[in-house]
């Protein structure tokens, strides 16, 4: 286990590389990130769990979810899949949306990328993730 477990390194002008290694088969990590029932169990913080979620796992398809806050507030999010290679690679845009899935502009393009070991980068960790930094974005947005 590396310490700290999660590292964040600038990888470009608007790119932050976030890396974490998981002691689990990459097939399971990929499923945890792409199957509705599994996503609902970990994506949202305990105070803002996902209580509604749909997943349409194909390029151009989306996962669309609602997080429920402690006072009953709603926060919707949506990810549109850009690249899907089972157990190896997952790229999707990530933004706030409304109930209908319409994007709520937050001033930038955010793109999450899951990359399994051995995929196009020999030094890749078991899992890593890049986030396209939105200009002037508040990281707090990610959790609402």
Q: Tell me if 82 contacts other proteins by CB under 8 A.
A: no
Q: Tell me if 7 contacts other proteins by CB under 8 A.
A: yes
Radius of gyration of the chain (CA): 15
One DSSP character per residue, 19-35 reads: EE--SS-HHHHHHHHH-
Q: Tell me if 54 contacts other proteins by CB under 8 A.
A: no
Cα separation, 116 vs 86, whole angstroms: 9
Q: Least distance in Å: CB of 17 to other proteins?
A: 9
Tell which one of 27, 54, 104, 139 touches other proteins (CB under 8 A): 139
Q: Tell me if 2 contacts other proteins by CB under 8 A.
A: no
Q: Tell me if 122 contacts other proteins by CB under 8 A.
A: no
Q: Tell me if 111 contacts other proteins by CB under 8 A.
A: no
Q: Tell me if 132 contacts other proteins by CB under 8 A.
A: no
Cα separation, 132 vs 16, whole angstroms: 7
Give the binding range for other proteins (CB under 8 A) out of 52-60, 62-70, 77-85, 136-144.
136-144
Give the binding range for other proteins (CB under 8 A) out of 41-49, 58-66, 70-78, 79-87.
41-49
Cα separation, 19 vs 10, whole angstroms: 11
Q: Tell me if 123 contacts other proteins by CB under 8 A.
A: no
Cα separation, 89 vs 69, whole angstroms: 31
**Pick from 36, 40, 73: nearest CA to 55:** 36
Cα separation, 134 vs 130, whole angstroms: 12
**Which position has the token pair 């509705």?**
36
What are the residues binding other proteins (CB under 8 A)? 4-16, 18, 20, 22-24, 28-29, 32, 38, 41-43, 45, 129, 131, 133, 135-136, 139-140, 142-143
């Amino acid at each position: 286990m590396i310490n700290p477990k999660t590292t964040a390194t600038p990888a470009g002008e608007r790119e932050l590389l976030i890396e974490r290694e998981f002691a689990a088969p990459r097939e399971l990590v990929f499923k945890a990130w792409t199957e509705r029932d599994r996503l609902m169990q970990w994506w949202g913080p305990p105070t803002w769990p996902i209580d509604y979620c749909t997943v349409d796992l194909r390029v151009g398809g989306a996962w669309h979810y609602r997080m429920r806050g402690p006072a009953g507030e709603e926060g919707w999010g949506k990810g549109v899949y850009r690249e899907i290679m089972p157990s190896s690679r997952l790229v999707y845009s990530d933004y706030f949306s409304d109930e209908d899935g319409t994007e709520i502009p937050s001033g930038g393009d955010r793109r999450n990328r899951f990359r399994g070991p051995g995929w196009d980068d020999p030094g890749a960790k078991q899992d890593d993730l890049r986030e396209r930094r939105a200009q002037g974005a508040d990281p707090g947005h990610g959790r609402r």
